[in-house]
Amino acid sequence: MRHAVAPGTGDPANFRIGDCSTQRNLDQTGRDQARETGRKIREMGIRIDLVLSSEWCRCVDTAILLDLGPVSKEPSLNSFFRDRSTERAQTRQITDLLSELPPGTKTLLVTHQVNITALTGIYPRSGEIILIRPTENGKIEELARLIP
């Protein structure tokens, strides 16, 4: 899932990962979008076993507001928008992580456009969910797109 609506692009020059005041954050529309998406998922009876989030505040906030279970921060989901040198390694870490989960584990990853595009080739909208599954050959198979 790409994080919910956070107006703008990238982050300010003084960005620090542990300080939300230095980051581009969800606005009220984004907070409402995350809550509504979580409500719809629960209403459909979909159970999520594991929620992993980028360490960026807009992703953590999206994951928390979805209210689908405890949220764990996963550094390999962090944005590489400013530094593309980590793109391949981070994308590989995610495919490895997904492949190592027990079969049938429903995992929600909350991350950034660049990460999703690197993993799937899809340019997602804010709040969009791409349903994927790892294949036996270590690739990712797209199953569906859920657009808010």
Predicted local distance difference test score (pLDDT) of residue 128:
98
Predicted local distance difference test score (pLDDT) of residue 148:
86
Q: Which CATH number fits domain 20-146: 3.40.50.1220, 3.30.300.30, 3.10.20.600, 3.40.50.1240?
A: 3.40.50.1240
Alpha-carbon span 18 to 55, nearest angstrom: 8
Q: How far is CA 69 from CA 51, 65, 144, in A?
A: 7, 10, 22
Alpha-carbon span 66 to 38, nearest angstrom: 4
Predicted local distance difference test score (pLDDT) of residue 138:
76
Give helix then strand counts, H and E, for the chain: 4, 5
* Sign of the CA dihedral with 34 first, then 37, 43, and 49 last: negative
Predicted local distance difference test score (pLDDT) of residue 27:
98
Predicted local distance difference test score (pLDDT) of residue 9:
85
Q: Which among 1, 102, 94 is positioned nearest to 49, based on CA atoms?
A: 102
Instruction: Enter the pTM of the model.
Output: 0.94
Query: Which residues on neighbouring strands pair with residue 130, listed in sequence order?
Result: 145
Alpha-carbon span 26 to 77, nearest angstrom: 17
Give mean pLDDT in consecutive 10-residue pieces for the chain, a chain of 148 residues: 94 90 97 98 96 98 98 97 91 93 94 97 97 86 92
